[in-house]
Amino acid sequence: MEKIGIIDLGSNSARLVIVNLFQDGYFMVVDELKESVRLGQDMERDGFLKPQRVAETIKTLKMFRKLCDASGVSRIITVATEAVRKAKNQRSFLDEIQANCGIKIKVLTAEEEATLVYRGVINTMDVPKGLILEIGGGSTKIVYYNRRNMLNYATLPFGAVTLTDMFARDGNKPEDQANRIEEFMTEQLGGVEWLKELDPDVQMIGVGGSFRNLFRINKMVHKYPLDTVHNYNMSTEDFLPLYDMIKVLDLDKKKKIKGLSAQRADILPAALAVVKAFVSYIGATNFTISGAGLREGIMINQALPSTVEKPVSDVLNYSLTTLVKWYDCDEKHVEHVVNLSIQLFKQLRVLHKFPRQYLKVLKVAATLHDCGMRIKYYSHPRHSWYMILNATLYGVTHREIVLAAFTACCHKKEDINPLDWARFKDVLHEDDIEIVKRLGVMLRIAESLDRSMSGCIKGINCDILGDSVIMKTEVEGDATLEIRDAMTAGAEFRKSFHKNLEIL
């Protein structure tokens, strides 16, 4: 396992993430550090990075270097974006960083930056046709892709920091500043010709710190039960009142908004004005927020170099395999339980009548059903529930994550806690509890059929006869333990499917 550091030096903030790279193409973030350096501030006047900003950046990068050295990082990858890209004193800045911090910075071209943002999204989201909006401190990136191919991109040299600087000098009220930024950005978008020819079913995807802050604010307003920003879907109807509320506040009042980073309070209205201009211009009724972007694009390219040419084919399976390895689960047992669960789902379809989307829920639950043992064996289904709710899972909706967590919680005799279920009433549907119980029974039987983790039961054939389900097992060796353990689910099976269970 190799440990690397990735530093993203943006126009607003500098971020370090420390990443463990597994030998077989997977990775996990193990530490991070963020500092607001405002490197791009006041650049609009003459195009030079200001001495105070450079000094702050050097101080920050020295801290990053110290953490990397203390953490055993073997190499550091550092990239800089718009502020450094257009700085007239770029060369002297890079030399000063190299001399003072021992860090070599790669200045990304606009195309390289857009491509890395795209790779961060396409390898973590199951959205076949997307329009990515990434709002940085010094630039705004727009990327259009379809069928996992990047088709067009545009980089507008205006971001949350530069737009705030440009329109704050006139002494206008906060609301007037936001309105002028909206008008300005709408005009800029009009110059992107390919935006006028988008397919109507394209999904807007928001990337960057401003979108993450927007999620946290909206989470507080609606008391949303999940902390997971990735794949959060927000309606324009929910966005507009928040924007209208925030854009009229002075700085002191903005800093008091729950969920909003105090370091971003002064520039968030400009970022939200960009979002408003964008959703209005393309007619978006909702957008999905991605927690992954440029840094994740670098991570996955480092862990799995083949993604430079071709994205991950199965986003969900990639993230599940990563977690299985990270939690040190028994990979053969996991694979066997997943396969048996899938067989049960397909062969009992005439009884449960679930659409195929619930097979994804069952797969997540079956893969991670034992991850709670990393905390403690006793009550480990309960620990698995918590870990699934908070895991880095790609390619699934928030509702599917919650359903999978409760399904995993049911894979032993534990029942669903009504208080836990009530927490997610805004994410789940009324009949979901019956779905979870049926999926949980299938998972419980599948796990029991590999109770000794020996793989002795190779397959299952189910016959539905009258008021019974006859489950015939394909066995190699002695499966007495497995069949005996599976039969303990008989009562739950009868409650869920209204059939008696027999296992042969």
pLDDT tens readout for residues 378-406 = 989 999 999 999 999 999 999 999 999 99
State the sign of the Cα–Cα–Cα–Cα dihedral 227, 229, 234, 236: positive
Cβ-based burial of 374 (10 A; exposed 0-12, middle 13-18, buried ≥19): middle
> What's the mean pLDDT in 23-27?
93
pLDDT band at 280 (very low <50, low <70, confident <90, very high): very high
State yes or no: pLDDT of 415 exceeds 80: no
- The total of other beta-carbon atoms located within 10 Å of residue 431's CB is 8
pLDDT of 37 higher than 80: yes
**Cβ atoms < 10 Å from Cβ of 303:** 22
- Look at strands 140-146 and 129-135 and give their pairing: antiparallel
Q: Is residue 450 within 8 Å of 486, Cβ to Cβ?
A: no
The whole-angstrom separation of Cα 266 and Cα 270 is 8
CA 177/CA 477 separation, integer angstroms: 75
- Give kind and range of the element (H or E) at residue 113: helix 110-122
The average pLDDT across 130-151 equals 95
- Classify residue 258 by its DSSP letter: T
The tens digit of pLDDT for each residue in 338-347 reads 999 999 999 9
Q: How far apart, in whole angstroms, are the C-alpha atoms of residue 68 and residue 99?
A: 17
Going by pLDDT thresholds of 50, 70 and 90, the confidence category of residue 414 is: low
pLDDT at 250 over 90: no
Is the pLDDT confidence value at 273 over 70? yes
Given this model, what pLDDT does residue 199 score?
A: 87
Instruction: Give the mean pLDDT of the chain.
Output: 94
Nearest partner of 95 among 82, 109, 84, judged by Cα: 84
As a whole number of angstroms, the distance between CA 418 and CA 421 comes to: 5
User: To which residue do tokens 């989470």 refer?
Assistant: 219
* Chain center to CA of 143: 18
Q: What contacts 459, CB < 8 A, 6 or more positions away? A: 343, 473, 474
Residue 177: pLDDT over 70: yes
Cα 445 to Cα 22, 31, 158, 378, 439, distances in angstroms: 32, 38, 57, 19, 10
- Kindly report the number of other CB atoms within 10 A of residue 129's CB atom: 15
Which residues have CB under 8 Å from 68's CB, separation 6+?
A: 5, 16, 18, 76
pLDDT tens digits, one per residue of 74-123 = 999 999 999 999 999 999 999 999 999 999 999 999 999 999 999 999 99
pLDDT tens track for 152-172: 999 999 999 999 988 876 667
Sheet holding 2-9, edge to edge: 27-36, 13-21, 2-9, 75-80, 105-107
Alpha helices, DSSP H, located in 348-417: 349-352, 357-368, 380-390, 398-409
Mean predicted confidence (pLDDT) in 408-432: 86
At 213-244, the pLDDT tens digits run 999 999 999 999 999 999 999 999 999 999 99
Local structure of residue 348 (DSSP, 8 states):
T
